[in-house]
Amino acid sequence: MQPGVIPSPKTGRQLVDEYFIENRTRLLEIAAYLDRLDRTDPSLVNRDFRVRAFQEAIALLADPSASDGPDTRVERIQLLLSDPTTEPLPALDTKSARGAYDRWTLGVA
Amino acid sequence: MRYIDLHAHMVSRTTDDYVRMALTGCVAVTEPAFWAGWDRSSPDGFEDYFRHLTDFEPKRAAQYGIRHYAWLCLNPKEGEDRALAREVVARIPKFLELPTVLGIGEIGLNRVTRNEIATFRDHVELALEHDQLIHIHTPHLEDKFKGTRTIVDILTEYGGIEPSRVMIDHAEEHTLPMILENGFWTGLTLYPQTKVSPERAIDMFERYGTERICVASACDWGPSLPDAVPHFALAMRRRGHDDALIDHIIFDNPAAFLGQSPKFQLRGAEATPAAPAMPRSESDASPAAGIAAA
Protein backbone atom coordinates (compact mmCIF):
# COMPACT_ATOMS: atom_id res chain seq x y z
CA MET A 1 0.00 0.00 0.00
CA GLN A 2 1.22 3.50 -0.78
CA PRO A 3 2.28 5.61 2.22
CA GLY A 4 -0.18 8.28 3.30
CA VAL A 5 0.15 12.02 2.78
CA ILE A 6 -0.17 12.58 6.54
CA PRO A 7 1.88 10.03 8.49
CA SER A 8 0.10 8.15 11.24
CA PRO A 9 1.17 9.66 14.57
CA LYS A 10 0.95 6.17 16.07
CA THR A 11 3.22 3.23 15.33
CA GLY A 12 1.78 -0.07 14.18
CA ARG A 13 2.15 -1.47 17.70
CA GLN A 14 0.33 1.56 19.15
CA LEU A 15 -2.52 1.15 16.66
CA VAL A 16 -2.89 -2.48 17.74
CA ASP A 17 -2.77 -1.53 21.41
CA GLU A 18 -5.42 1.17 20.94
CA TYR A 19 -7.85 -0.48 18.50
CA PHE A 20 -7.47 -4.26 18.78
CA ILE A 21 -10.26 -4.86 21.28
CA GLU A 22 -12.96 -2.91 19.43
CA ASN A 23 -12.06 -4.55 16.11
CA ARG A 24 -12.00 -7.97 17.76
CA THR A 25 -15.58 -7.19 18.81
CA ARG A 26 -16.53 -6.31 15.22
CA LEU A 27 -14.97 -9.54 13.96
CA LEU A 28 -17.00 -11.62 16.40
CA GLU A 29 -20.18 -9.74 15.47
CA ILE A 30 -19.70 -10.70 11.82
CA ALA A 31 -18.95 -14.31 12.75
CA ALA A 32 -22.07 -14.47 14.88
CA TYR A 33 -24.17 -12.92 12.09
CA LEU A 34 -23.00 -15.58 9.62
CA ASP A 35 -23.61 -18.37 12.17
CA ARG A 36 -27.10 -16.97 12.74
CA LEU A 37 -27.86 -17.07 9.01
CA ASP A 38 -26.54 -20.63 8.74
CA ARG A 39 -28.67 -21.71 11.66
CA THR A 40 -31.74 -20.22 10.05
CA ASP A 41 -31.20 -21.02 6.37
CA PRO A 42 -27.80 -22.21 5.10
CA SER A 43 -28.97 -21.95 1.49
CA LEU A 44 -29.22 -18.16 1.59
CA VAL A 45 -25.80 -17.68 0.06
CA ASN A 46 -27.14 -19.29 -3.11
CA ARG A 47 -30.49 -17.52 -3.06
CA ASP A 48 -29.86 -13.95 -1.91
CA PHE A 49 -27.39 -11.64 -3.63
CA ARG A 50 -26.76 -9.67 -0.44
CA VAL A 51 -25.53 -12.77 1.40
CA ARG A 52 -23.42 -13.79 -1.60
CA ALA A 53 -21.87 -10.32 -1.75
CA PHE A 54 -21.16 -10.42 1.95
CA GLN A 55 -19.42 -13.77 1.68
CA GLU A 56 -17.28 -12.65 -1.28
CA ALA A 57 -16.36 -9.47 0.57
CA ILE A 58 -15.16 -11.50 3.53
CA ALA A 59 -12.89 -13.46 1.21
CA LEU A 60 -11.26 -10.15 0.21
CA LEU A 61 -10.49 -9.38 3.84
CA ALA A 62 -8.27 -12.43 4.05
CA ASP A 63 -6.65 -11.98 0.62
CA PRO A 64 -3.03 -10.92 1.19
CA SER A 65 -2.86 -9.41 -2.30
CA ALA A 66 -5.77 -7.09 -1.45
CA SER A 67 -3.42 -4.53 0.07
CA ASP A 68 -1.21 -4.42 -3.04
CA GLY A 69 -1.74 -1.87 -5.79
CA PRO A 70 -3.86 1.26 -5.72
CA ASP A 71 -7.03 -0.41 -4.46
CA THR A 72 -7.02 -1.28 -0.77
CA ARG A 73 -9.24 -3.85 0.94
CA VAL A 74 -11.91 -1.26 1.64
CA GLU A 75 -11.92 -0.02 -1.96
CA ARG A 76 -12.09 -3.54 -3.38
CA ILE A 77 -15.02 -4.34 -1.12
CA GLN A 78 -16.74 -1.07 -2.02
CA LEU A 79 -16.39 -1.90 -5.72
CA LEU A 80 -17.58 -5.48 -5.19
CA LEU A 81 -20.75 -4.07 -3.64
CA SER A 82 -21.20 -1.36 -6.32
CA ASP A 83 -23.23 -1.23 -9.51
CA PRO A 84 -20.57 -1.53 -12.25
CA THR A 85 -22.84 -0.43 -15.10
CA THR A 86 -22.66 2.99 -16.73
CA GLU A 87 -26.02 3.35 -18.50
CA PRO A 88 -28.76 5.31 -16.69
CA LEU A 89 -31.89 3.41 -15.70
CA PRO A 90 -34.77 4.17 -18.10
CA ALA A 91 -37.05 4.93 -15.12
CA LEU A 92 -37.07 4.84 -11.36
CA ASP A 93 -37.45 1.23 -10.13
CA THR A 94 -37.21 1.73 -6.37
CA LYS A 95 -36.55 4.68 -4.11
CA SER A 96 -33.93 3.08 -1.87
CA ALA A 97 -30.64 1.26 -2.37
CA ARG A 98 -30.09 -2.23 -0.95
CA GLY A 99 -26.39 -2.13 -0.10
CA ALA A 100 -25.11 -4.52 -2.79
CA TYR A 101 -25.44 -4.97 -6.55
CA ASP A 102 -26.92 -8.25 -7.80
CA ARG A 103 -24.12 -9.21 -10.20
CA TRP A 104 -25.13 -12.88 -9.81
CA THR A 105 -28.82 -12.24 -10.67
CA LEU A 106 -29.83 -14.19 -7.61
CA GLY A 107 -32.50 -11.77 -6.41
CA VAL A 108 -33.67 -11.65 -2.82
CA ALA A 109 -34.56 -14.86 -1.00
CA MET B 1 -12.90 23.86 19.72
CA ARG B 2 -14.82 25.55 16.93
CA TYR B 3 -16.42 23.96 13.90
CA ILE B 4 -18.76 24.46 10.96
CA ASP B 5 -21.21 21.69 10.09
CA LEU B 6 -21.47 22.11 6.33
CA HIS B 7 -24.34 19.64 5.96
CA ALA B 8 -27.09 19.44 8.59
CA HIS B 9 -30.84 19.02 8.08
CA MET B 10 -31.93 21.00 11.09
CA VAL B 11 -35.61 21.03 10.11
CA SER B 12 -35.55 17.39 11.23
CA ARG B 13 -33.78 18.06 14.52
CA THR B 14 -34.90 19.28 17.90
CA THR B 15 -33.89 22.43 19.71
CA ASP B 16 -31.89 20.23 22.09
CA ASP B 17 -29.72 19.31 19.11
CA TYR B 18 -28.92 22.98 18.49
CA VAL B 19 -27.89 23.17 22.15
CA ARG B 20 -25.62 20.12 21.78
CA MET B 21 -24.04 21.66 18.71
CA ALA B 22 -23.53 25.04 20.39
CA LEU B 23 -22.06 23.46 23.50
CA THR B 24 -19.55 21.54 21.38
CA GLY B 25 -18.33 24.60 19.44
CA CYS B 26 -20.53 24.79 16.35
CA VAL B 27 -20.52 28.34 14.97
CA ALA B 28 -22.37 27.78 11.69
CA VAL B 29 -24.43 25.18 9.86
CA THR B 30 -25.42 25.02 6.22
CA GLU B 31 -28.60 23.16 5.37
CA PRO B 32 -29.22 21.75 1.90
CA ALA B 33 -32.79 21.17 0.75
CA PHE B 34 -33.51 17.42 0.87
CA TRP B 35 -36.10 14.65 0.80
CA ALA B 36 -38.50 14.72 3.74
CA GLY B 37 -38.87 10.93 3.76
CA TRP B 38 -42.04 11.29 1.69
CA ASP B 39 -42.77 12.96 -1.63
CA ARG B 40 -44.23 16.47 -1.54
CA SER B 41 -47.49 16.80 -3.42
CA SER B 42 -47.01 20.16 -5.13
CA PRO B 43 -44.60 23.04 -5.91
CA ASP B 44 -46.31 24.96 -3.11
CA GLY B 45 -45.03 22.34 -0.67
CA PHE B 46 -41.48 23.09 -1.80
CA GLU B 47 -42.02 26.81 -1.53
CA ASP B 48 -43.19 26.44 2.07
CA TYR B 49 -40.08 24.31 2.75
CA PHE B 50 -37.85 27.00 1.25
CA ARG B 51 -39.47 29.60 3.50
CA HIS B 52 -38.82 27.34 6.48
CA LEU B 53 -35.14 27.04 5.48
CA THR B 54 -34.62 30.74 4.85
CA ASP B 55 -36.79 32.35 7.52
CA PHE B 56 -37.62 30.19 10.53
CA GLU B 57 -34.47 28.06 10.78
CA PRO B 58 -31.92 30.94 10.79
CA LYS B 59 -33.85 32.53 13.65
CA ARG B 60 -33.96 29.27 15.60
CA ALA B 61 -30.21 28.72 15.16
CA ALA B 62 -29.38 32.30 16.09
CA GLN B 63 -30.82 31.75 19.55
CA TYR B 64 -27.86 29.46 20.22
CA GLY B 65 -25.19 31.61 18.60
CA ILE B 66 -25.13 29.49 15.44
CA ARG B 67 -25.28 31.01 11.97
CA HIS B 68 -27.64 29.15 9.65
CA TYR B 69 -27.35 29.13 5.85
CA ALA B 70 -29.32 27.22 3.21
CA TRP B 71 -29.01 25.61 -0.22
CA LEU B 72 -32.15 25.28 -2.34
CA CYS B 73 -33.31 22.74 -4.91
CA LEU B 74 -35.66 19.87 -5.64
CA ASN B 75 -33.74 16.91 -4.19
CA PRO B 76 -32.65 13.84 -6.23
CA LYS B 77 -35.19 11.49 -4.61
CA GLU B 78 -37.98 13.58 -6.12
CA GLY B 79 -36.13 14.33 -9.33
CA GLU B 80 -37.91 11.61 -11.31
CA ASP B 81 -41.04 13.78 -11.67
CA ARG B 82 -39.95 16.11 -14.46
CA ALA B 83 -43.09 18.26 -14.46
CA LEU B 84 -42.78 18.92 -10.73
CA ALA B 85 -39.04 19.57 -11.06
CA ARG B 86 -39.55 22.18 -13.77
CA GLU B 87 -42.13 24.03 -11.66
CA VAL B 88 -39.96 23.98 -8.54
CA VAL B 89 -36.82 25.09 -10.41
CA ALA B 90 -38.81 28.03 -11.80
CA ARG B 91 -39.65 29.15 -8.26
CA ILE B 92 -36.10 29.03 -6.87
CA PRO B 93 -34.63 32.28 -8.34
CA LYS B 94 -36.71 34.56 -6.16
CA PHE B 95 -35.12 32.98 -3.07
CA LEU B 96 -31.54 33.26 -4.28
CA GLU B 97 -31.17 36.91 -3.27
CA LEU B 98 -32.02 36.18 0.36
CA PRO B 99 -29.11 36.85 2.73
CA THR B 100 -28.71 33.27 3.99
CA VAL B 101 -29.00 31.37 0.69
CA LEU B 102 -25.56 30.21 -0.44
CA GLY B 103 -26.44 28.35 -3.61
CA ILE B 104 -28.12 25.37 -5.27
CA GLY B 105 -28.19 22.05 -3.39
CA GLU B 106 -28.24 19.29 -2.54
CA ILE B 107 -28.83 18.34 -6.14
CA GLY B 108 -27.51 15.09 -7.60
CA LEU B 109 -28.69 11.59 -8.33
CA ASN B 110 -30.46 8.81 -6.44
CA ARG B 111 -30.88 5.70 -8.64
CA VAL B 112 -29.20 7.32 -11.68
CA THR B 113 -32.23 7.43 -13.98
CA ARG B 114 -32.62 9.46 -17.16
CA ASN B 115 -35.13 11.79 -15.52
CA GLU B 116 -32.91 12.30 -12.47
CA ILE B 117 -30.08 13.28 -14.80
CA ALA B 118 -32.32 15.75 -16.65
CA THR B 119 -33.39 17.32 -13.33
CA PHE B 120 -29.76 17.47 -12.21
CA ARG B 121 -28.84 19.30 -15.41
CA ASP B 122 -31.70 21.79 -14.88
CA HIS B 123 -30.26 22.68 -11.49
CA VAL B 124 -26.68 22.94 -12.74
CA GLU B 125 -27.83 25.33 -15.46
CA LEU B 126 -29.83 27.33 -12.90
CA ALA B 127 -26.69 27.66 -10.76
CA LEU B 128 -24.61 28.76 -13.74
CA GLU B 129 -27.24 31.26 -14.82
CA HIS B 130 -27.30 32.87 -11.36
CA ASP B 131 -23.59 32.39 -10.52
CA GLN B 132 -24.31 30.20 -7.51
CA LEU B 133 -22.19 27.75 -5.52
CA ILE B 134 -23.33 24.13 -5.97
CA HIS B 135 -23.74 21.42 -3.34
CA ILE B 136 -24.18 17.87 -4.65
CA HIS B 137 -25.55 14.69 -3.08
CA THR B 138 -24.08 11.43 -4.35
CA PRO B 139 -26.22 8.26 -4.24
CA HIS B 140 -26.35 5.73 -1.45
CA LEU B 141 -24.59 2.39 -1.13
CA GLU B 142 -24.33 0.32 -4.35
CA ASP B 143 -25.39 3.32 -6.45
CA LYS B 144 -22.68 5.67 -5.18
CA PHE B 145 -19.88 4.69 -7.57
CA LYS B 146 -22.01 4.83 -10.71
CA GLY B 147 -23.77 8.01 -9.58
CA THR B 148 -20.60 9.85 -8.64
CA ARG B 149 -18.94 8.94 -11.91
CA THR B 150 -22.01 10.13 -13.84
CA ILE B 151 -22.09 13.42 -11.90
CA VAL B 152 -18.39 14.09 -12.47
CA ASP B 153 -18.76 13.31 -16.18
CA ILE B 154 -21.72 15.66 -16.55
CA LEU B 155 -20.08 18.52 -14.66
CA THR B 156 -16.92 18.31 -16.73
CA GLU B 157 -19.06 18.75 -19.88
CA TYR B 158 -20.04 22.26 -18.78
CA GLY B 159 -17.42 24.80 -19.78
CA GLY B 160 -18.68 27.37 -17.28
CA ILE B 161 -18.27 25.23 -14.18
CA GLU B 162 -15.49 26.19 -11.80
CA PRO B 163 -14.78 22.96 -9.88
CA SER B 164 -13.60 24.94 -6.85
CA ARG B 165 -17.16 26.28 -6.47
CA VAL B 166 -18.72 22.79 -6.38
CA MET B 167 -18.96 20.44 -3.38
CA ILE B 168 -19.57 16.78 -4.31
CA ASP B 169 -20.63 15.35 -0.97
CA HIS B 170 -20.92 11.92 0.67
CA ALA B 171 -17.64 10.63 -0.76
CA GLU B 172 -16.23 7.29 0.32
CA GLU B 173 -12.99 5.47 -0.39
CA HIS B 174 -13.97 4.39 -3.90
CA THR B 175 -15.27 7.82 -5.03
CA LEU B 176 -12.99 10.32 -3.29
CA PRO B 177 -10.11 10.13 -5.82
CA MET B 178 -12.28 10.82 -8.90
CA ILE B 179 -13.79 13.89 -7.20
CA LEU B 180 -10.49 15.38 -6.07
CA GLU B 181 -8.68 14.61 -9.33
CA ASN B 182 -11.22 16.77 -11.18
CA GLY B 183 -10.70 19.75 -8.88
CA PHE B 184 -13.97 19.62 -6.91
CA TRP B 185 -14.42 19.94 -3.17
CA THR B 186 -15.75 16.90 -1.38
CA GLY B 187 -17.33 15.95 1.92
CA LEU B 188 -17.15 12.89 4.17
CA THR B 189 -20.44 12.18 5.92
CA LEU B 190 -20.05 10.91 9.48
CA TYR B 191 -22.90 8.43 9.95
CA PRO B 192 -23.24 5.69 12.56
CA GLN B 193 -24.30 3.07 9.98
CA THR B 194 -24.03 3.97 6.32
CA LYS B 195 -21.46 6.31 4.73
CA VAL B 196 -18.28 6.91 6.80
CA SER B 197 -17.18 6.35 10.41
CA PRO B 198 -14.78 8.83 12.04
CA GLU B 199 -12.01 6.21 11.84
CA ARG B 200 -12.44 5.70 8.08
CA ALA B 201 -12.64 9.45 7.55
CA ILE B 202 -9.30 9.86 9.36
CA ASP B 203 -7.81 7.11 7.18
CA MET B 204 -8.83 9.09 4.08
CA PHE B 205 -7.25 12.30 5.43
CA GLU B 206 -4.05 10.40 6.19
CA ARG B 207 -4.02 8.91 2.67
CA TYR B 208 -5.06 11.94 0.61
CA GLY B 209 -4.28 14.99 2.79
CA THR B 210 -6.70 17.72 3.78
CA GLU B 211 -6.99 19.83 0.62
CA ARG B 212 -10.61 20.36 -0.51
CA ILE B 213 -12.04 17.78 1.93
CA CYS B 214 -14.62 18.57 4.64
CA VAL B 215 -16.48 16.49 7.20
CA ALA B 216 -20.13 16.93 8.19
CA SER B 217 -22.87 15.24 10.18
CA ALA B 218 -25.63 15.35 7.54
CA CYS B 219 -27.89 14.86 10.56
CA ASP B 220 -31.50 14.36 9.52
CA TRP B 221 -34.53 12.20 10.37
CA GLY B 222 -32.57 8.92 10.10
CA PRO B 223 -29.79 7.43 12.25
CA SER B 224 -27.37 10.35 12.53
CA LEU B 225 -25.64 12.50 15.13
CA PRO B 226 -25.88 16.30 15.33
CA ASP B 227 -22.53 16.29 17.15
CA ALA B 228 -20.79 13.97 14.67
CA VAL B 229 -18.12 16.59 13.89
CA PRO B 230 -16.91 16.90 17.50
CA HIS B 231 -16.98 13.09 17.70
CA PHE B 232 -14.67 13.13 14.67
CA ALA B 233 -12.40 15.63 16.45
CA LEU B 234 -12.26 13.32 19.46
CA ALA B 235 -11.35 10.36 17.22
CA MET B 236 -8.60 12.50 15.61
CA ARG B 237 -7.11 13.22 19.04
CA ARG B 238 -7.29 9.52 19.93
CA ARG B 239 -5.32 8.74 16.76
CA GLY B 240 -2.68 11.22 17.91
CA HIS B 241 -3.37 14.14 15.55
CA ASP B 242 -2.84 17.65 16.89
CA ASP B 243 -5.41 20.38 17.39
CA ALA B 244 -4.08 22.55 14.54
CA LEU B 245 -4.79 19.79 12.01
CA ILE B 246 -8.23 19.16 13.51
CA ASP B 247 -9.10 22.87 13.37
CA HIS B 248 -7.95 23.02 9.76
CA ILE B 249 -10.32 20.19 8.80
CA ILE B 250 -13.40 21.13 10.81
CA PHE B 251 -13.20 24.92 10.58
CA ASP B 252 -10.74 26.27 8.00
CA ASN B 253 -11.77 23.94 5.18
CA PRO B 254 -15.54 24.53 5.29
CA ALA B 255 -14.90 28.25 5.84
CA ALA B 256 -12.74 28.31 2.70
CA PHE B 257 -15.36 26.61 0.53
CA LEU B 258 -18.34 28.50 1.91
CA GLY B 259 -16.46 31.80 2.02
CA GLN B 260 -16.60 31.87 -1.77
CA SER B 261 -20.08 33.26 -1.21
CA PRO B 262 -19.93 36.83 0.10
CA LYS B 263 -23.02 36.04 2.14
CA PHE B 264 -21.17 33.56 4.35
CA GLN B 265 -19.97 35.52 7.38
CA LEU B 266 -18.63 34.16 10.64
CA ARG B 267 -17.82 37.38 12.46
CA GLY B 268 -20.11 37.65 15.43
CA ALA B 269 -21.01 33.97 15.42
CA GLU B 270 -17.59 33.08 16.83
CA ALA B 271 -17.76 35.86 19.38
CA THR B 272 -21.12 34.69 20.68
CA PRO B 273 -20.97 32.62 23.88
CA ALA B 274 -21.49 28.94 23.06
CA ALA B 275 -24.47 28.42 25.33
CA PRO B 276 -26.71 31.47 25.71
CA ALA B 277 -29.79 31.23 27.86
CA MET B 278 -32.21 29.10 25.92
CA PRO B 279 -35.97 29.21 25.80
CA ARG B 280 -37.49 26.00 27.11
CA SER B 281 -40.42 26.00 24.75
CA GLU B 282 -42.16 27.97 22.05
CA SER B 283 -44.04 29.97 24.64
CA ASP B 284 -40.74 31.08 26.21
CA ALA B 285 -39.19 32.17 22.94
CA SER B 286 -38.54 35.84 22.38
CA PRO B 287 -40.99 37.42 19.94
CA ALA B 288 -38.00 39.34 18.59
CA ALA B 289 -36.58 36.03 17.44
CA GLY B 290 -39.67 35.40 15.40
CA ILE B 291 -40.71 32.21 17.15
CA ALA B 292 -43.52 33.49 19.31
CA ALA B 293 -46.23 31.02 20.15
CA ALA B 294 -49.14 31.00 17.78
B114 to chain A: which residues are within 8 Å by CB? 88-91
Query: What DSSP assignment string belongs to B23-89?
Result: HTTEEEEEEE----SS--SSHHHHHHHHHIIIIIHHHHHHTTT-EEEEEE---GGGTT-HHHHHHHH
pLDDT digits (tens, 9 = 90+) for B208-226: 999 999 999 999 999 999 9
CA distances from A98 to A28, B144, B159 (A): 24, 12, 35
Domain membership of residue B292 (yes or no) is no
State percent of chain A over pLDDT 70.
Answer: 94
pLDDT at A91 over 90: yes
A14 to chain B: which residues are within 8 Å by CB? 240
The residue of chain A nearest to residue B118, with distances taken between CA atoms, is: A88
Compute the half-sphere exposure of residue B290: CA atoms within 13 Å on the CB side of its CA. 11
Kindly indicate the confidence band of residue A71, based on its pLDDT and cuts at 50, 70 and 90.
confident
B174 to chain A: which residues are within 8 Å by CB? 75, 78-79, 82
pLDDT of residue B282: 39
pLDDT at B275 over 50: no
Q: What is the count of structural domains for chain B?
A: 1
Domain membership of residue B290 (yes or no) is no
Give per-residue burial for B23-34: e unless 16+ CB within 10 Å, then b.
Answer: ebbbbbbbbbbb
Separation CA B188–CA A70 (nearest Å): 20
pLDDT of residue B241: 98
Q: Where are the domains of chain A?
A: 12-42, 44-83
Domain membership of residue B285 (yes or no) is no
Does the structure's ipTM exceed the value 0.85? yes
> CA triplet A73, B253, B107: central angle to 5 degrees?
75
Domain membership of residue B110 (yes or no) is yes
Amino acid at B204: M
The residue of chain B nearest to residue A88, with distances taken between CA atoms, is: B113
Mean pLDDT computed over B57-71: 98
Task: Burial-class residue A108 by CB neighbours within 10 Å (0-12, 13-18, 19+).
Answer: exposed
pLDDT at B60 over 70: yes
Kindly indicate the confidence band of residue B270, based on its pLDDT and cuts at 50, 70 and 90.
low
State percent of chain B over pLDDT 90.
Answer: 89
Per the CB < 8 A criterion, the answer to whether B156 and B184 are in contact is: no
pLDDT digits (tens, 9 = 90+) for B76-133: 999 999 999 999 999 999 999 999 999 999 999 999 999 999 999 999 999 999 999 9
B77, B199, B203: residue with CB nearest A95:
B77
Mean pLDDT computed over B276-282: 38
The residue of chain B nearest to residue A86, with distances taken between CA atoms, is: B146
pLDDT digits (tens, 9 = 90+) for B130-174: 999 999 999 999 999 999 999 999 999 999 999 999 999 999 999
Q: Backbone phi, then psi, for B196, in 5-degree steps?
A: -130, 135
Q: Cβ contact (<8 Å) for A99 and B200?
A: no
- Domain holding B96, by residue range, is 3-275
A78 to chain B: which residues are within 8 Å by CB? 145, 172-174
Handedness of CA B55, B124, B133, B112 (dihedral sign): positive
Record the pTM: 0.92
Q: Is A35 at the interface with chain B, CB within 8 A?
A: no
What is the domain-level CATH number for residue B7?
Answer: 3.20.20.140
pLDDT of residue A65: 72
Per the CB < 8 A criterion, the answer to whether B137 and B116 are in contact is: no
Whether the bond into B129 is cis, omega within 30 of 0: no
B133-137 and B166-168 as β-strands: parallel, antiparallel, unpaired? parallel
pLDDT of residue B237: 98
Give the H or E element holding residue B135.
strand B133-137
Q: What value does the mean pLDDT of chain B take? A: 92
Mean pLDDT computed over A46-65: 92
CB atoms within 10 A of CB B210: 16
